[in-house]
Amino acid sequence: MNINPSNIIPITKARSKLGDLTEKVAGENYIVLTKDGSPKAALVDISYLTSLEKDVKNIYKRTFIDKKLLKYTRNFSDEEIKQWLDEDVL
57 in any annotated domain: yes
86 in any annotated domain: no
Confidence of residue 1 (pLDDT cuts 50, 70, 90): low
Phi, psi of 31 (to 5 degrees): -110, 130
Q: How many CA atoms lie within 13 A of 42 on its CB side?
A: 15
Q: What is the pLDDT of residues 2-53, one digit of tens each?
A: 677 888 999 999 999 999 999 999 988 999 999 999 999 999 999 999 999 9
80 in any annotated domain: no
What total number of domains does the chain contain? 1
32 in any annotated domain: yes
- Provide Rg for the chain, Cα atoms: 20
79 in any annotated domain: no
Q: Which pairs from 34-38 meet CB under 8 Å and 24+ separation?
A: 34/8, 34/9, 34/10, 35/10, 35/11
Single pTM value for the model? 0.60
Three-state SS at 44: coil
